[in-house]
Structure 1
Amino acid sequence: MNALIRYADPAYCIMRLIVGLLFASHGGQKILGFPPVAKAMSLDTLGMIGGYIELVGGLLIAFGLFTRAAAFISSGMMAVAYFMVHAKGGFFPIVNRGEPAVIYCFIFLFIFFYGPGRWSLDGLIWPDREVARDEVGGPMRTGQRL
């Protein structure tokens, strides 16, 4: 198991990057019309706000800038989206097609608590801040080695 620990930072960075970019693509679709979809939806005010949160929050999370704030806001927005849009269609996310909202909500909640990680813009800009936790729960700084 200790042999895998050296891959934890890059794996977390890749996960944060992929999830953030996927989330941003939802906002890009709503706000910019890119990537194009066959049937574009019309958005009300809350939909536009959600689109901007997805676009900006997703990019911030992807690159690890203001990560905790972006993850907290994005997690809350996905919880609201689930209950306002999907929960009306039934209790179970698989039935009401809300599983992406639930997954994003909890991934962003995890990112909020875990932090940006060492491989992030937050870690580059503020190297003395706590960016992660080591395996025993103590604070880990950007330059610290396992």
Structure 2
Amino acid sequence: MKIITLLTTPFTQKHWFADLLFAIIRFICGILLALDFGASKFGMPWTDESQHLDLFEVAAWFPEDVASYGGIFAVAPIFFAWMGAFSEAVGGLLLAFGLQTRLASFLIMCTMLVAIFMQKWGQSTWAMLPAMGFLWVSIYHLYLGSGRFGLDYLISKTLKHKN
């Protein structure tokens, strides 16, 4: 129980306005990550109507892309593709709403590091910028959590009152 409390309890800023500003950034980044980047990797119906995919099946192009990274990614491309898609789609939603923010941030951070160094490295800085932006936001929230404008804050208050 102590580890859950530690992972869930966010740090709050001195002034509520700072927490609000960080929550706006967290929400926008999480929603963009989930709906724009993560959804396309699951092959959602609005991305390709000619191909029917189960909700839990990654788009056909993504495991091939992951396998091209070589090394461990070539050994289990479907697993790593699914983990990348999951961390972007589900992790993005968790980040947006401030639910298990540190766990979601860790998954997003790992995915963005892979995207930067395995997929975008060697391209222009402009091509790496989206992954770098999501990386920076995830690192910040990995340390601080959701702040006072997230579900983690409400959960931690409830846990604190029960004890």
TM beyond 0.5: yes
Counterpart of 2:93 in structure 1 is: 59
- Confirm or deny that 1:24 pairs with 2:54: no
Q: Any conservation in 2 of the 1:27–1:52 contact (CA below 8 Å)?
A: yes
Counterpart of 2:62 in structure 1 is: 43
Counterpart of 2:109 in structure 1 is: 75
The structure showing larger relative contact order (alpha-carbon pairs under 8 Å, at least 6 residues apart) is 2
TM-score (norm 1): 0.72
CA displacement, residues 34-76 of structure 1 (integer Å, 9 cap, x when unaligned) = 65379x8712023332111101100111111110111012112
Counterpart of 1:124 in structure 2 is: 154
Q: Any conservation in 2 of the 1:28–1:34 contact (CA below 8 Å)?
A: no
CA RMSD of the aligned region, Å?
A: 2.5
Change (3 A) 1:100 1:37: farther
Helix, strand or coil at the partner of 1:15: helix
Identity %: 34
Which whole-Å CA distance do the structure 2 matches of 1:116 and 1:82 have between them?
25
Which whole-Å CA distance do the structure 1 matches of 2:60 and 2:128 have between them?
17
Counterpart of 1:93 in structure 2 is: 125
Change (3 A) 1:6 1:43: closer
Which whole-Å CA distance do the structure 1 matches of 2:105 and 2:90 have between them?
11
Aligned residue type for 1:76: C
- The runs of 5 or more residues in structure 1 that have no matched partner are 130-140, 142-146
Q: Any conservation in 1 of the 2:26–2:137 contact (CA below 8 Å)?
A: no
Helix, strand or coil at the partner of 2:62: coil
Aligned residue type for 1:30: K
- Confirm or deny that 1:7 pairs with 2:41: no
Matched positions, count: 121
Aligned residue type for 1:9: D
Which whole-Å CA distance do the structure 2 matches of 1:111 and 1:78 have between them?
14
